[in-house]
Structure 1
């Protein structure tokens, strides 16, 4: 699918919550997570802050339609992915991998040490997908305070129906980031 991956701009922000909601419909196939299809997702303020920090990327079609996004937050030398969503119509076409590539390349260019995220362990388009892109599981014993706190908060808000994990991509200064 021809599209451009670019930094998001403020004009994109109002479209991101609906895009996330559309992407979340994939969870309808998982009984324990069907409630996510009507969940809230990230608020506009979070997206706007990430756009201002230049840590939000979008996938836009040739006509300008937004097909996916990734919103991240900078924590010291880590860039943490808060959400990555691709519309149902565009899922399975490599946009998620291209968005990850943009994030990891930006982290490399900024001299960051790693890209982190939390996700469902056994949902195919979650941990297995990230592992195929070069992300590694962070063992429970190796969790830093920030990642442990994020997982604890997620479990407290109902995401513990299916096991979750933290993952990381260690950014190397001279190695190509996540392949497209």
Structure 2
């Protein structure tokens, strides 16, 4: 099983290839197959997130096989990307990366973890729901801006959603209300 560790600047060069390999899964979805050929995060962007955000690597035999990168927005950690090389998918590596990020966000005193994803793609919204995230009916603040940016970049807005996982005891009560559809994130 791979070791999960914080990413180092020297890892940045290997991470775009992992994302490209992970993106090959979209070829199985005819209407989204173009994503497999789309741009991935550059090594430069990875270095920025390693320096300023939260970046984790899953390492096997001394080389990265998966990564997660995220950025803090106010009191929330926003997940930008989880990717696992195609040769290592289906082994729980992505889940381990995500659980480590959740622990680190909680340890930093952050109130929630957020992300945007495809609604009906099995390794997107259904996967995150199984891990405890809930879809927001009316995303606001940074999530609304991210969804708008994604739409401008060509992602079909009607197929995307924003999700949240509340962290901490008070946040878990809020999480239960969101699950019941009582509230949405209001502040940026």
Do these two structures clear the TM 0.5 threshold for a shared fold by scoring above it? Answer: yes
Spell out the pairing of 1:101-112 with structure 2 (5 A cutoff): 101-112=99-110
Spell out the pairing of 1:139-154 with structure 2 (5 A cutoff): 139-140=137-138, 143-154=139-150
Partner residue, 1:178: none
The answer as to whether partners of 2:56 and 2:67 remain within 8 angstroms in 1 is yes
Partner residue, 2:79: 81
Partner residue, 1:157: 153
* Alpha-carbon distance, 1:157 to partner: 1.3
Query: For 2:170 and 2:5, how far apart are their aligned partners in 1?
Result: 22
Partner residue, 2:47: 48
Spell out the pairing of 1:124-143 with structure 2 (5 A cutoff): 124-140=122-138, 143=139
Spell out the pairing of 1:111-122 with structure 2 (5 A cutoff): 111-122=109-120
Structure 2: runs of 5 or more not aligned: 172-188
Partner residue, 2:69: 71
Alignment TM-score, normalising by the size of structure 2: 0.87
Spell out structure 1 runs of 4+ moving beyond 3 A: none
Number of residue pairs the alignment of both structures matches: 171
Query: For 1:107 and 1:133, how far apart are their aligned partners in 2?
Result: 15
Asked which structure has the greater RCO (Cα within 8 Å, sep 6+), the reply is: 1
Summarize the Cα distance change of 1:166–1:106 in structure 2 as closer, same or farther, 3 Å threshold. same
The alignment partner of 1:159 has SS state of coil
* Alpha-carbon distance, 1:38 to partner: 1.1
The answer as to whether partners of 1:111 and 1:173 remain within 8 angstroms in 2 is no
Instruction: Spell out, residue by residue over 1:110-154, the C-alpha distance to the aligned partner (whole angstroms, 9 max, x if none).
Output: 0001110000000000010011111111112xx122101111111
Instruction: Spell out, residue by residue over 1:94-122, the C-alpha distance to the aligned partner (whole angstroms, 9 max, x if none).
Output: 01110110110010000001110000000
Summarize the Cα distance change of 1:174–1:89 in structure 2 as closer, same or farther, 3 Å threshold. farther
Query: For 1:96 and 1:164, how far apart are their aligned partners in 2?
Result: 20
Spell out the pairing of 1:2-41 with structure 2 (5 A cutoff): 2-41=1-40
Partner residue, 2:178: none
The answer as to whether partners of 2:24 and 2:36 remain within 8 angstroms in 1 is yes
Summarize the Cα distance change of 1:25–1:72 in structure 2 as closer, same or farther, 3 Å threshold. same
* Alpha-carbon distance, 1:161 to partner: 7.2
* Alpha-carbon distance, 1:32 to partner: 1.3
Query: For 1:17 and 1:85, how far apart are their aligned partners in 2?
Result: 9
Alignment TM-score, normalising by the size of structure 1: 0.90
Q: CA RMSD in A?
A: 1.6
